[in-house]
Structure 1
Amino acid sequence: MPDQSTVEHVNATLTVAASATSVFAILADPTTHAAIDGTGWVQQALDPAPLTEPDQIFRMNMYHANHPDGAYRTINRVELFDAPQIISWLPGYEKDDGQLDFGGWSWRYDLVPHDPATTEVTLTYDWSAVPQPIREYLRFPPFSPGHLTASLHHLAELATRPPQPSTSGRPALPR
């Protein structure tokens, strides 16, 4: 068993009864992230455009009772985008001077189709790039590992719902 003080990521895997393309479309839609999130911290997408490429920025309203402001905003930068296999992003924030700063942790989803209607999804939270000063005041991971499993179950629920009519002009996603 690895020494927990050297572990710098956690992950969970779930097989979802949906195609990799359908699951990926949900993950690439920031408006679904609040419904996927297992902590309840993600509140609302401020940039509802679908994620389509690395370096794309999207913002989210967040809430955490232990955050100094309670309600806060994250600025996320897409790190990996390889539809429909991998999507990941780095959360950060916007400084007073408009510059973006990222804390060194990331969210990554890896999708492996088992067949046309079944996909294995692995969610990884990685904090290996977090600088020491941040590690001195934040505990990693900042949630229980069950959060990842809950998030994957929420994703599976979204992916297996019958499609709902789209009001955005974009193709309807399973809900």
Structure 2
Amino acid sequence: MITRAKDGRAWRIGTSAQVAWIAAGTTPGLTIAAAIPPGFEAYATVVLPFGGEGQDQHDQTVLALLHEQSADQPWWLGYLDTGADDIVFPDAPKVTLYAGWPYVLVEAGPEQAASWRRSDGWSLWKGVLPNLMFPVDRSWLVSRLWDDDWTCIGGPTELVDKFLRHPCLQARSVTPGQDATPPGHQAQ
């Protein structure tokens, strides 16, 4: 088991075994399956706030809804190594997902998801959340691909409905074969 120290504790670093289900289930393209494997009850995209305004509230809302769903288990947090983003553990081994993108994967939880990444101030819609999050039981998956200004989510209908109904989030339901690009946005 590979670990890295932070906050006075050793954190487990993930391997390709933890993300094999994502790698095997996603396909390049514009559908939700580019980010989220098939098999979940429901899917949605959630637009990120532009210009940083409302980003903290957005991030806190997302984490609260996910924590409510999976409070009793650890989460896997994935930090995409773009060369510019904070990946929290820069010396940790990486896993490869999607179009060959390297991620640092760490077993932690919502508290770490909210606090580990620093905001660099250069992106107008990035926030501090990890690029990839899912609980150990894989009951939901949240993924923000490379340059997209929205997040994709797959999970139980009850969870996705909470995202769709929340007044602080701009979310829309998508089906597995549908273009996941939110209206007015452009896939990169």
TM-score normalized by the length of structure 2:
0.30
Q: Identify the structure with bigger relative contact order (alpha carbons < 8 Å, sequence gap 6+).
A: 2
Larger radius of gyration: 1
